[in-house]
């Protein structure tokens, strides 16, 4: 199943196949264990998200687009439960962590072939690019950057946190993967991803060393002073301005249209993936133009809300908070028990959520896109680590 999920990121046509495989293995598990899945703290919010899928399919004016988005969401949920069900031991938890870091390294390496690094793509032989383009459509650089921003903290945690001696190879993997992901993110020129990675690094520093929280606090204060001296409007302009969207005024206009949509369709949303068409038809963007190619709200919280309505947004936020709480509890228990693997992994998961939130303030690249399933794999890992706490404590 994992190979099919990876394949569906590069080749969208494999999306239904990957979901069908996930359902098949789910049913096999049900027959073997007399239950479809283990329980997790996120079951109720996930149930609410699933209940919103028929509603978004009913509400949409673009059923073909929304069906694809709904399949992506269902595949992400299936991957979440696949990780939770498979990760029933400490050794498997370590393997999942290594797998996520390896996936980030692979994504950073393949980014030029996916079209996510235009500058680096020029170095790829034209014949190879043509072959890959026949299989896969291009992925926006911001999508690549957003995905790498939530995976890179796990690799950084392998580098910064102490590990058992037998896992020295994992530290080398973490170093190589971290350098590759940070380098690829830098080449995308995604300011939102840079801010997310910065926030993640500050979280890791605060969790790694005894006085790390003070260093992170001083760094944050220094940034605040710099913003005050330069001027908040000027800093906002530098952080959000882009060739595609323009400056901060255009970004604010997009957010205002998303708020109008959320106000007009609070319970159903407009239908997953329909932002551009609905905005151009009913909420025209004057600064960007009446036929602007703006695919989403450029804010993950607004995007989830307009896709699935307020019920879907509440469910998604509840899951986010549960993941943060579970990762924090895993970190605390790992410190108490001197469990190096649990401590480092949980710290990486916490930093990953910081990157997700900060990047999500100015983009929605980790929702409704082909690599968006990565977030669900990370969330499943956090839940699996939390479920293993009693077992690891007993050991």
Neighbours of 87 (CB within 10 A): 23
pLDDT reported for residue 15 = 80
Summarised one tens digit per residue, pLDDT across range 59-97 is 998 999 999 999 999 999 999 999 999 998 888 998 999
Six-digit token string for 202 = 């500050």
| pTM for this prediction | 0.91
Six-digit token string for 22 = 């996930």
Number of domains within the chain: 1
Band the pLDDT of 304: cuts 50, 70, 90: very high
Helix, strand and coil content of the chain, in percent to the nearest 5, comes to: 80, 0, 20
Checking if the pLDDT of 242 tops 90, the result is no
Report CA torsion sign: 24, 26, 29, 31: negative
The residue among 201, 202, 169, 207 whose CA lies nearest residue 185 is 201
Mean pLDDT score of the chain, rounded to an integer? Answer: 85
Summarised one tens digit per residue, pLDDT across range 330-383 is 999 989 888 888 999 999 999 999 999 999 998 998 998 888 999 999 999 999
* CA-atom Rg of the chain in angstroms: 21
Residue 374 near residue 151, CB atoms below 8 Å: yes
Phi, psi of 48 (to 5 degrees): -70, -40
Dihedral of the CA atoms 373, 362, 58, 376 (nearest 10)? 20
Dihedral of the CA atoms 354, 72, 271, 263 (nearest 10)? -10
SS3 at position 242: strand
Residue 268 near residue 53, CB atoms below 8 Å: no
**Neighbouring residues of 283: CB distance < 8 A, sequence distance ≥ 6:** 257, 260, 261
Bigger pLDDT: 354 vs 137? 354
Domain residues for 295? 2-394
Q: What angle do CA 111, 112, 118 make, to 5 degrees?
A: 115
Give me the helix-helix angle, 63-86 and 15-33, nearest 10°. Answer: 40
- Please give the Cα distance from 226 to 170 (Å, whole number): 37
SS3 at position 219: helix
> Which region holds residue 39: left if phi is over 0, alpha if psi is between -120 and 50, else beta?
beta
Band the pLDDT of 278: cuts 50, 70, 90: very high
Residue 370 per-residue DSSP state? G
Summarised one tens digit per residue, pLDDT across range 157-204 is 999 998 887 777 888 899 999 999 999 888 887 888 999 999 999 999
């Amino acid at each position: 199943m994992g190979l099919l999920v990876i394949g569906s990121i590069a080749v969208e046509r494999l999306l239904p196949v990957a979901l069908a495989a996930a359902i098949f293995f789910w049913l096999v598990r049900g027959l073997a264990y007399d239950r479809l899945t283990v329980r997790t703290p996120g079951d109720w919010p996930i149930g609410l998200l699933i209940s919103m899928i028929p509603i978004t399919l009913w509400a949409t004016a673009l059923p073909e687009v929304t069906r694809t988005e709904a399949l992506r969401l269902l595949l992400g949920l299936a991957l979440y439960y696949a990780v939770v069900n498979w990760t029933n031991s400490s050794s498997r938890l370590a393997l999942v962590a290594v797998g996520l870091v390896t996936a980030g390294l692979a994504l950073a390496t393949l980014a030029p072939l996916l079209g996510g690094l235009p500058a680096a793509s020029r170095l790829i032989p034209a014949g190879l690019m043509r072959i890959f383009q026949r299989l896969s459509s291009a992925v926006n650089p911001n999508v690549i950057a957003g995905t790498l921003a939530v995976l890179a903290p796990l690799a950084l945690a392998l580098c910064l946190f102490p590990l058992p001696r037998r896992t020295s190879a994992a530290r080398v993997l973490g170093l190589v993967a971290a350098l590759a992901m940070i380098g690829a993110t830098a080449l995308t020129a995604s300011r939102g991803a840079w801010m997310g990675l910065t926030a993640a690094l500050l979280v890791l520093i605060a969790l790694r060393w005894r006085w790390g929280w003070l260093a992170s606090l001083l760094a944050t204060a220094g940034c605040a002073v710099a913003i005050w001296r330069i001027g908040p409007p000027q800093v906002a302009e530098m952080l959000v301005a882009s060739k595609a969207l323009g400056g901060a005024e255009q970004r604010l206009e997009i957010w205002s249209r998303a708020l109008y949509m959320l106000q007009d369709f609070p319970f159903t949303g407009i239908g997953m993936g329909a932002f551009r068409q609905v905005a151009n038809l009913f909420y025209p963007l004057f600064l960007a133009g009446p036929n602007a190619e703006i695919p989403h709200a450029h804010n993950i919280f607004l995007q989830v809300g307009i896709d699935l309505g307020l019920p879907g947004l509440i469910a998604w936020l509840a899951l986010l908070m549960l993941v943060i709480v579970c990762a924090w509890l895993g970190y605390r228990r790992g410190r108490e028990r001197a469990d190096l693997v649990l401590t480092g992994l949980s710290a990486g998961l916490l930093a990953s959520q910081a990157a997700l939130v900060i990047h999500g303030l100015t983009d929605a690249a980790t929702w409704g896109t082909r690599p968006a399933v990565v977030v669900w794999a990370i969330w499943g890992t956090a839940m699996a680590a939390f479920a293993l706490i009693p077992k690891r404590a007993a050991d």
